[in-house]
Structure 1
């Protein structure tokens, strides 16, 4: 029996409780800065498009910033909030989310949902990235060219809410797998780069006939 099984059996012998998200969380729309508002320095911000392309599951520092006056007028996520992109051109990316783990608030662009809750932040994001939530997402999504999930509809989604001790152990295990995956990806990328260099070396060597041609063209004495 794993530690998670043991904790679950001891702390919730009748099974893990499922609750509607709206019972323990609020869901607000992000807004309203745009990419044109980015600055080289200033206050931290997250644009919804970055959730698809630039960030992993958990974020403690942003890659972009906005000026203080733009920040003051923007919707913000607090440390521990989940930031979810609720608009995408495909079903796979819609509802992708990150955990904001920075030390202060962060400005959040439009086309997002800011989920403020009282659970383990990483547990929430892991669940929203799971196949279990995938079914809810597909049920709530609408649109053809642009896929969208209305933030308010997320309030009715029922989510497993195990005791905090169980959530923490689940997060510990999934963090370990995520770290291992990152290590393997780095090793594979290094191996791939080495093979690319090897291929380039032998390609150039095997296809370089210049010296032989020059030897034939050199006049005899």
Structure 2
């Protein structure tokens, strides 16, 4: 099994707040954008296309994510959904709404996003979450998140394994619902095993 060196997020990334555009700013075409509310209903571990656009004027005033950045929703109605995120893997810079954190880094974007979907991360974010009716995690607080970080090569290997499981879980045509549910549980098990803290190999 892989040996991981634990690092704080701010050792490998910068965390910035998202912008302030709203759904009323959406246009039929223009620049691609991600609104934090879409994180709960549309986006998964990664995305290559957005489902909304904004005008040149709104885009120019917005905070932006470049390919490889992680976009994370830091406001939600519950602890389970807060910090839902996606790795932006499209080919262009996009506008990002408020109530988000934009995580810029030089690691494997899918690896980080898979980690942010793991039970290890869930335990850490629960300690950072605050609020009652609205649950929030302050973007700057994410800097203290500890991540098990192997080499880029091993990150790539982990992502290849998890991508295969993720594909089985999300592709309805690949099996009957009971089989998909079994694969989903298997995927979650291996995801958490691969992304859990371990002593780094000598």
Q: How does 1:188-207 map to 2 (within 5 A)?
A: 188=176
Match of 2:68 in 1: 80
Match of 1:114 in 2: 102
Asked if 1:100 corresponds to 2:88, the answer is: yes
Cα 1:41–1:186 change in 2 (3 A) is farther
Q: How does 1:165-176 map to 2 (within 5 A)?
A: 165-176=153-164
Match of 2:136 in 1: 148
Query: CA separation in 1, counterparts of 2:156 and 2:167?
Result: 16
Cα 1:185–1:93 change in 2 (3 A) is farther
> How well do the aligned residues superpose, as a CA RMSD in angstroms?
1.3
May I ask how many residue pairs the two structures share in their alignment? 177
Could you tell me which of 50, 70, 76 is aligned with 2:58?
A: 70
Query: CA separation in 1, counterparts of 2:64 and 2:166?
Result: 27
| Aligned-pair CA distance for 1:183 | 2.4
| SS at structure 1 position matched to 2:16 | strand
Normalising by structure 2, we get a TM-score of 0.85
1:64-93 Cα distance to aligned partner (Å, 9 max, x none): 000011001000001000000000011110
Query: CA separation in 2, counterparts of 1:101 and 1:159?
Result: 21
Could you tell me which of 49, 53, 61 is aligned with 1:61?
A: 49
Note if contact 2:168-2:174 (Cα within 8 Å) is conserved in structure 1.
no
**Can you give the 5+ residue segments of structure 1 that lack an aligned partner in the other structure?**
9-14, 190-221
Could you tell me which of 10, 25, 40 is aligned with 1:52?
A: 40
Could you tell me which of 150, 155, 160 is aligned with 2:148?
A: 160
Higher helix fraction: Structure 1 or Structure 2? Answer: 1
Larger Rg: 1 or 2?
1
**Can you give the 5+ residue segments of structure 2 that lack an aligned partner in the other structure?**
178-202
| Aligned-pair CA distance for 1:40 | 0.4
Which structure carries more relative contact order (alpha carbon 8 Å, separation 6+)?
2
